Amino acid sequence: MALWQISEPGQSPLPHAPRLAAGIDLGTTNSLIATVRGGAVTVLPDAAGAVLLPSVVRFEATGRVTVGRAAQEAEIKDPLNTIASVKRLMGRGRADVHNSPYRLAAGDAGTVRIITDGGVKTPAEVSAEVLKVLKARAEETLGGALTGVVITVPAYFDEAQRQATKDAARLAGLPVLRLLNEPTAAAVAYGLDRNPEGLYCVYDLGGGTFDVSLLRLSQGVFEVLATGGDALLGGDDMDAAVVALWEARGAHAESPEDTRALLRKARTAREALTTATRVTVDLAPLYQGELSRADLDQAIDPLIDRTLAACRRVLKDAQAKVADIGAVVLVGGATRTPRVRERVAAFFRREPLHDIDPDQVVAVGAARQADLLVGNTGAADMLLLDVLPLSLGIEIMGGLVEKIIPRNSPIPASRAQEFTTYKDGQTALAIHVVQGERDLVADCRSLARFELRGIPPMVAGAARIRVTFQVDADGLLNVTARETTSGVASEVTVKPSFGLSESDIERMLAESVASAGADAAARTLREQQVEADRMVEAVQAALKTDPQLLAPGEGEMIAAHIASVQAARAGTDPQAIRSAVGALDRASAAFAARRMDAGLAKAMKGRAVTEFR
């Protein structure tokens, strides 16, 4: 008699075979992925041995997408198409974003769209490219498809930002087990490795966001008592502060490329000052000089002040004092800055913990949680209780907010409250769901609107309408309204307007599969057309700038080659375009050499040779 191998849905048929799971720290500046192997957490490196993947994506007109260091190297020469720190744009509306270095547009419902030569992209699509690389890294290393992942998000991420993160994961083909607050993930890492109990403060200063959370760890239970922070504060802002210091000393940026160059040099200098006390900055012609650790401290102190103000608010929210804190955990690469550690130690009156790499600690905690959720670790080993970062409520008469679930409530959570009608005979009720801490709807964020219809006509105040808010473990919200006497009900799952619609996601997934083969020929043609446009534009600009350097008859000859390139570019033969561009390059080579010689002569005029050593 044949025996069937039976297993629970979604479970491995081999009872002792571990399921492949991973934790992902989707960071503003860098991202990484970790997994549990043999009971220990391993942060997975790329082929070159690097565990940090720069969260930078470049979209080219040819359709080519590069991610990580290769994209980062293009930031200066192609700043408008090389997207960094996209986490700051996740779940945001166009009206929320100011002074962006990118070309932005408003999509449906005011959503942010980034205009690139490779097409108009949502922040979720950009993040998905980063996640795809991490997914491929994990599956190649582990030798199989991932069963599920835990992705970390800042504790202060609201509904829209969390939904955008899940959209990005779906576009990358990643099954999300849950979203986990970054400070909670750090507590998991330290709590399991060091097994402490008591009150912890997690100070998380990354590349673009700052979070501070107060957690109670007791007998394996992690409870977030309060959270705070600033979604627009991090190492990127420290770099901007350094650039502002240099500008006060004479540095100048005349283009987006110049600004990117200064910011990258500021980051390099700031990181060097982690161990050095003074660095030399040579970014001619934009800026030359020195930067001391004292200069850096002065530039970033106002930013650190903002983080400590958030720490005070969190302590106040939890009704705790500095003396109650048993330990402070540092998370995020920016916490390597000596001034940050010095001032955090002074504020909390104790040296903070940083013996787990601050760049990796969040991924370590996420990996442990993912291992638990797929069943590789006993469920009794750990319990996580996150909290809601912002209050949830509904609009009531007068444009006021009635809070249903207050901020810092542990999640998952379910709360209900009764409301009634305003007018005699009222048979419908409009429900406006909002998020925020202000009393006026105008000062809070609108999440959703829906209607409850079919209320029996009664005198004002007689109907009893029960509104129930349910928040799941990922912080996503479902709202139900029910009239208790008749039983009529209506509900809405809050997928915020700044997330992607189901049709958008399906379309993007379908396009990503279909276009790989079908568009190969078109991509090749477009590559050559772009190169032709670049070459023609460069040569025409040179002819206009330095016509006096042309030899007799040379201008007419180059013009003829330009016409040939333009004619080939209008066709559909990529090889013909390539040949025409090559001919133009050769025809203009002598003229280009004379321009270079003239430029060098002008630069050296009146200066000693020793100045160029």
Phi, psi (deg, nearest 5) at residue 562 = -60, -45
Contacts of 483-487 with C-beta under 8 Å, sequence gap 24+, read: 483/452, 483/454, 483/455, 483/456, 484/418, 485/456, 486/454, 486/455, 486/456
Q: What is the rounded distance in angstroms from the CA atom of residue 594 to the CA atom of residue 445? A: 60
Given the residues 25, 159, 295, 527, the one annotated as active site: 25
Q: Are 245 and 299 in contact (CB under 8 A)?
A: yes
Establish whether 25 is a catalytic residue: yes
Given the residues 75, 78, 87, 237, the one annotated as active site: 87
User: Residue 331 is which amino acid?
Assistant: V
Helix (H) or strand (E) holding 69: helix 69-72
Backbone dihedral region of 21: left (phi > 0), alpha (psi from -120 to 50 degrees) or beta? beta
User: Residue 125 is which amino acid?
Assistant: E
Phi, psi (deg, nearest 5) at residue 358 = -65, -20
Q: What is the rounded distance in angstroms from the CA atom of residue 47 to the CA atom of residue 50? A: 8
Q: Are 425 and 433 in contact (CB under 8 A)?
A: no
Establish whether 247 is a catalytic residue: no
Given the residues 60, 158, 167, 182, the one annotated as active site: 182
Q: Note the Cα 144 to chain centre separation in Å.
A: 27
Given the residues 60, 78, 204, 386, the one annotated as active site: 204
Q: Are 152 and 185 in contact (CB under 8 A)?
A: yes
Phi, psi (deg, nearest 5) at residue 63 = 95, -5
Give catalytic residues, as residue numbers: 25, 87, 182, 204
